[in-house]
């Protein structure tokens, strides 16, 4: 390999490995030879990975694997291997040089990934109770439409969740959707009649304008509960 014949070197290292399958240095050297005759392929990385498995405390093997990673533009993995090599041998000049070259590439790779990766919207909770709590927070911030969305989802997941109907009824009141508010509070009474006293007051509070008839019906239901 030193004479400029990496292909022949690979054959010699293959023979050495055939004679001694656990000869870590032979894998490391074969990986370096692969890097010369098959650059930018996974062959050097696969071979030197075996060397690291056999010689996990070899700074030379870790540095070699780092170079293989770098040739495949796996800069973060390369920097990790260089750092591990330096932890084992603080005077390993080649590893310092390789890491110095690899760090800017790793940082640039991170920036590119952030720019090109699609933004992921946060997943909506699937627990009705969590949706109810989040809806209360939205309502407190006067984000009424978002609160209604969460409460509707909570009701879809748990149709007998009386608190969700109560909360949505109150939100509907804030946005002047009085018939919808009365319908939700009435449904809450049906689901939880023992709480009719508190809901009766809420229904009477909706007795305004065009919603008078609906309010009267709600109060009638409350009295019957």
- Ramachandran bin of 142, using left for φ above 0, alpha for ψ from -120 to 50, beta for the remaining angles: left
Among residues 96, 88, 94, the alpha carbon closest in space to that of 58 is found at 88
Q: Which CATH superfamily is domain 6-116 in?
A: Tetratricopeptide repeat domain (1.25.40.10)
Is the alpha carbon torsion for 137, 187, 214, 218 positive or negative?
A: negative
**pTM exceeding 0.85:** no
Choosing among 3.30.420.40, 1.25.40.10, 1.10.3720.10, 3.40.50.720, the CATH entry for 128-224 is 1.25.40.10
Quick one: pLDDT at residue 196?
60
Query: Among positive and negative, which fits the CA dihedral 160, 164, 165, 166?
Result: positive
pLDDT value for 156:
93
Mean pLDDT along residues 2-16: 66
Residue 219 CA to residue 170 CA, distance in Å, equals 16
Cα separation, 171 vs 184, in Å, equals 10
What is the per-residue pLDDT across 118-175, written as a single tens digit (0 to 9) for each?
555 556 678 888 898 889 888 888 899 999 999 999 999 999 998 899 999 999 999 9
Residue with tokens 């074969």: 30
Q: What is the DSSP letter of 73?
A: T
Q: Is the pLDDT of residue 194 over 80?
A: no
Q: Do domains 6-116 and 128-224 have the same CATH topology?
A: yes
Q: Which residues contact 200 (CB under 8 A, 6 or more apart)?
A: 219, 222, 223
CB 181 within 8 A of CB 173: yes
Beta carbons of 188 and 224 less than 8 angstroms apart: no
Residue 9, pLDDT > 50, answer yes
Domain boundaries, given as residue ranges, for the chain: 6-116, 128-224
Report helix, strand or coil for 208. coil
Query: C-alpha dihedral over 57, 39, 2, 32, to 10 degrees?
Result: 10
């Amino acid at each position: 390999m030193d004479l400029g014949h990496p292909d022949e070197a690979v054959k010699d290292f293959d023979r050495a490995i055939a004679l001694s399958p656990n000869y870590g240095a032979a894998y490391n050297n074969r990986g370096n030879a692969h890097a010369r005759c098959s650059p930018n392929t996974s062959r050097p990385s696969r071979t030197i990975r075996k060397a690291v498995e056999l010689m996990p405390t070899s700074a030379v093997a870790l540095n070699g694997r780092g170079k293989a990673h770098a040739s495949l533009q796996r800069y973060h993995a390369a920097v990790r291997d260089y750092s591990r090599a330096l932890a084992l041998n603080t005077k390993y000049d080649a590893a310092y040089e390789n890491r110095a070259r690899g760090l800017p590439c790793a940082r640039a790779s991170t920036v590119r990934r952030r720019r090109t990766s699609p933004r992921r919207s946060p997943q909506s909770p699937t627990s009705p109770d969590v949706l109810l709590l989040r809806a209360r927070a939205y309502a407190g911030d006067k984000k009424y439409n978002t609160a209604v969305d969460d409460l509707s989802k909570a009701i879809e997941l748990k149709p007998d969740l009386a608190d969700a109907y109560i909360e949505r009824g109150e939100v509907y009141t804030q946005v002047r959707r009085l018939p919808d508010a009365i319908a939700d509070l009435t449904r809450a009474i049906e689901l939880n009649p023992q709480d009719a006293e508190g809901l009766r007051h809420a229904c009477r509070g909706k007795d305004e304008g065009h919603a008078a008839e609906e309010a009267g019906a709600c109060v009638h239901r409350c009295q019957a509960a």
